[in-house]
Each structure stands twice: as structure tokens, then as C-alpha cells.
């Protein structure tokens, strides 16, 4: 009786049992697989997205967003180090005003990157 409760029902869900068979050549299959790998999607999902008129996410866009996010984090860490320097060794080697000016520039660049990332995400959600 317990075994009957654990049986997985495979034909439930939005896409259950629905497929569209399409014959392709080996070259076409390889090309589809290559494009799917480039956009980090399985081939079936890539074909579904394209068939429904949606464009798959661009790998370049994803990589650019990743780089921007890492850069924003790096700037945050740099700002933290500058603040620590101000507290631990004010005025040593470099004047306190120069450090504060640099810290302000870092914070400004970091907020600019945050705005850019938010704008990118807003465009790609809609």
C-alpha cells in the first residue's frame, strides 16, 4: 500500500507528455547543441524559446553582468580598506583629504555600477 503512494506521476504539469518531433541532420543537431551551450540552455529549452518568439539570453550580456557585479564588489572592498586606513593610520604617507577624495570617487563609481546593473536587470525582466 505504501508503494502505491510513492509512484511518480510523470504526466502531470504544464508540459507533461507534449512534444513536437522534428527531424534534423547530424550537422543541424550539432549546431543547435553548440548554440544552446553558448547561451547556457538545454537544446529543448532553446528550441522552445525560439519557437515561441522569445530570444534566449545572450552569453555576452550574462558575462558583462557578472563582470560588473564583481567590479562593484571589488570597489566595495577597496572602499572598506580605505576607511580602515583612515581609522588605523590617518595622515600617514598620504594625506587624509586625498584618501577621503579617493573614497568618495570609489563610492560614486560603485553607485554608478549599481544603477547600471539595476537598469540592465529592469530591461531584461520586461
Q: Are residues 52 and 64 in the same domain?
A: no
Q: Which residue has the cell 554608478?
A: 112
**Range of 32's domain?**
26-56
Contact 32, 43 (CB under 8 A): yes
Q: Could you tell me if 42 and 87 lie in one domain?
A: no
Residues of the chain by 3-state class (helix, strand, coil), percent to 5: 70, 0, 30
Mean pLDDT lowest for which of 1-5, 107-111, 117-121? 1-5
Query: Rg of the chain's alpha carbons, rounded to an integer?
Result: 25
Could you list the beta-strand ranges (E) of 8-101: none
Look at the pTM and tell me if it is higher than 0.85: no
Same domain, 68 and 114: yes
32 occurs within a structural domain: yes
Mean pLDDT of 59-67: 74
35 and 65 belong to one structural domain: no
For residue 9, being part of any structural domain is answered with no
Query: What grid cell was written down for 125?
Result: 525582466
Per-residue pLDDT at 15: 61
Given a cut of 70, is residue 11 above it in pLDDT? no
Q: How many domains does the chain have?
A: 2
Mean of the per-residue pLDDT values for the chain? 80
The CA distance from 71 to 45, in Å, is 31
Same domain (yes/no): 34, 80: no
So what's the pLDDT on residue 64? 79
Identity of the highest mean pLDDT range in 23-27, 48-52, 117-121: 23-27
Q: Give the count of beta carbons closer than 10 Å to the beta carbon of residue 65.
A: 16
CA 114 to CA 63: how far, in whole Å? 16
Amino acid at each position: 500500500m505504501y508503494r502505491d503512494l510513492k509512484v511518480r506521476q510523470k504526466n502531470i504539469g504544464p508540459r507533461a507528455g507534449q512534444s513536437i518531433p522534428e527531424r534534423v541532420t547530424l550537422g543541424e543537431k550539432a549546431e543547435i547543441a553548440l548554440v544552446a551551450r553558448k547561451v547556457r540552455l538545454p537544446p529543448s529549452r532553446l528550441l522552445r524559446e525560439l519557437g515561441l518568439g522569445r530570444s534566449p539570453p545572450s552569453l555576452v550580456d550574462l558575462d558583462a553582468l557578472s563582470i560588473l557585479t564583481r567590479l562593484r564588489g571589488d570597489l566595495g572592498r577597496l572602499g572598506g580598506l580605505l576607511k580602515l586606513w583612515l581609522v588605523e593610520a590617518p595622515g600617514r604617507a598620504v594625506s587624509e583629504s586625498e584618501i577621503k577624495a579617493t573614497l568618495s570617487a570609489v563610492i560614486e563609481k560603485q553607485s554608478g555600477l549599481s544603477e547600471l546593473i539595476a537598469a540592465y536587470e529592469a530591461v531584461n525582466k520586461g
